[in-house]
Amino acid sequence: MNDNDLLTNETAPKRRDELQIHNKKLGEVSNWLKSAFSEDHSAPGVLYLTGPTGSGKSTSVEVLCKEKNIELIDYTPELLHDDFLEYEKHDFSQLIRFLIRRHASLMGGSKKQILFVTELPDQSYQDAERFREEMYEALHRIRHPVIFCLTNDIACWNLNPDKLFTREFIRKADISTITFNPVADTFMKKALIRASNLLPSPLSDTKLNIIKEEARGDLRTAMNMLQMNSVGLNANRRTGMKVICASKANKEEAFHMLGRILYAKRVNPNAPKLTRFSQKRRSSVPIPEPTERTDLENDPSDIITMSSMSSGKLVDFLFENEPVFCPSISNYRRVVDMFSLCDVLAGDWNTARSFPDEYAAQIATRSVMWNNFQGSRPKTMFCIARPTEKDLEKQMTATRNEIRRLPMIGNKHFSSLDAPYRGIIENITDPQRIELFLGRPMEIGWKLGKDRIEELIDGRHYIAYKGRKHPRKARKNATPLVVKQAEEEDETYTIEDSSDDSFDEF
């Protein structure tokens, strides 16, 4: 192996089965490639391929094209000098010339060629309107299929290709779109294992797991980290968990967006800086204080797109942090009403499919931004809290599974009714028992985690509840296991299959 090359290039997949991308996505790309060269197509197709960095966009295209014997022609802006030896600006004309030109094959045999555009001239980001107009023209005159392969999780909205390729434009210009997702954990792990095995000294499994966690769905970062941790004379000098991490700069981007939603800043007409909106107001009566609703500083739709979070996750975050920002209870009532509606929309499979993906996020965001007008603002920097819901759900599922292992059928009210009473009736003191776990005193919070809770209950020797006067100490000679056997039953069954074993398990 050549030490000088990047692992990202070195271990790049060469065959389709080496690609660690979801088959569905690969299928989409492959189908598009097929249809782009089908006979009955009058105009060559255009594809807008997006996704976060390192999600395998260009690699998939490269591998699939190689497999189908298609030649990819990359677009590289040339740096030219004019008569006065000044750089000629890299502008639309170059890109358009590239798009509408007839390209000769470099490889001779292959007839199929695809134009592969991985960057756009700066000018296009400055003037999106014109970009769309010129593109619309140019795309009518192309002779080869075109793929625009662009990263869309760029922190700065002005440089985000989604700003250029609006839905309206995509529809009008008849562009197909495929969006890649961040690489899933299982795929990431497989890719890492494959790459690691190509190394002279493969990394340990724990290290690979850490890299997987850190990379957050970015394969390129993952490979770079792999390389950083394996090169050098003594590759395995770092033992155990120690891994050099390359963190992404825009990890906190989503949090900026949450801040924007929660603070819901509005344009202040008194602000010294002139904006598009304030100029309009100037001409009318100047308002000293923004007592009424002015326009929002940021457009909610942009924020949602930029946060690159799923609807559910976004609503979770907003729900967790909203009470701090909301001006009054009645406003909060309206907001929570919307949250609960969002949950219903997402949960019901009748409606979930008929609405666009971000519908719930749109409702929630707009409702928060509208209601947070003149709301309370934290004095200092506010730390956005993680949604507690997730952890709680995890613990609840674990507990639920444990209950399911008890030998009984269909007792919905076991946890609310049977468990607390049974605790009293049978005087349960074994901290491992689920009844005691469910009926534990309220001050032993769930956040402590199951092990800690069991420890705490163990120290008490009895279940305390309000109104219980004489907590009894545990009877030393009680033999709970034997007694329990039959009582556990919800109905009076005679159990032929001894349930003793199932108890020993927990």
Partner 1 sequence: MALWVDKYRPKELIGKDGVDFHLEQANHLKFLSGDCMPHLLFCGPSGAGKKTRIKCLLRELYGVGVDKTQLIMKPFTTPSNRKLEIQTVSSNYHVEMTPSDVGIYDRVVVQDLVKEMAQTSQIEASSQKSFKVVVLCEADSLTRDAQHGLRRTMEKYANNCKIILCCESLSRIIEPLQSRCIIINVPAPTDEEMTSVLMKVIQKEKLEMPQNILQKIVEKSEGNLRRAILMTEAIKMENENGISTNAQIPVPEWEIYLQETARLILQKQTSEVLLKVRERLYEVLSRLIPPNIILKVRIVITASLKSKFNFQKLLEHLLPSCPESIVREVVSEAACSEHRLVMGQKAIYHLEKFVSSFMDIYLTNASKPK
The reply on whether position 384 binds partner 1 by CB under 8 A is no
Q: DSSP per residue over 47-61, as a string?
A: EEEEESTTSSHHHHH
The reply on whether position 343 binds partner 1 by CB under 8 A is yes
Among 1, 43, 80, 495, which residue sits at the site for partner 1 (rule: CB under 8 A)? 495
CA distance 160 to 144: 25
Interface with partner 1 by CB under 8 A: which range of 35-43, 199-207, 225-233, 422-430? 422-430
Least distance in angstroms from the C-beta of 441 to partner 1: 7
Decide whether 175 or 478 has the Cβ nearer to partner 1: 478
Q: 56 and 219 in contact (C-beta within 8 Å)?
A: yes
Q: How many CB atoms within 10 Å of residue 178?
A: 19
Interface with partner 1 by CB under 8 A: which range of 83-91, 166-174, 281-289, 397-405? 397-405
Interface with partner 1 by CB under 8 A: which range of 18-26, 112-120, 214-222, 490-498? 490-498
The reply on whether position 173 binds partner 1 by CB under 8 A is no
Interface with partner 1 by CB under 8 A: which range of 12-20, 98-106, 282-290, 335-343? 335-343
CA distance 252 to 431: 41
Q: 230 and 198 in contact (C-beta within 8 Å)?
A: no
Decide whether 167 or 413 has the Cβ nearer to partner 1: 413
Name the strand (E) or helix (H) holding 178. Answer: strand 176-179
Q: What are 394's two structure tokens? A: 């995890």
The reply on whether position 27 binds partner 1 by CB under 8 A is no
Interface with partner 1 by CB under 8 A: which range of 7-15, 180-188, 189-197, 321-329? 321-329
Among 273, 353, 412, 473, which residue sits at the site for partner 1 (rule: CB under 8 A)? 412
CA distance 194 to 243: 19
Angle between helices 329-347 and 359-371 (to 10 degrees): 180
The reply on whether position 172 binds partner 1 by CB under 8 A is no
The reply on whether position 433 binds partner 1 by CB under 8 A is no
Decide whether 69 or 502 has the Cβ nearer to partner 1: 502
Buried b / exposed e over 342-370, threshold 16 CB at 10 Å, is bbebbeeeeeeeeeeebbbbbbbbbbbbb
CA distance 387 to 456: 26
CA distance 401 to 395: 10
The reply on whether position 455 binds partner 1 by CB under 8 A is no
Least distance in angstroms from the C-beta of 320 to partner 1: 9
CA distance 342 to 62: 40
Q: How many CB atoms within 10 Å of residue 263?
A: 17
Interface with partner 1 by CB under 8 A: which range of 122-130, 241-249, 302-310, 435-443? 435-443
The reply on whether position 418 binds partner 1 by CB under 8 A is yes
Contacts of 340 (CB under 8 A, 6+ apart): none
The reply on whether position 184 binds partner 1 by CB under 8 A is no
Least distance in angstroms from the C-beta of 322 to partner 1: 9
Between residue 74 and residue 133, which ones bind partner 1 under the rule CB under 8 A? none
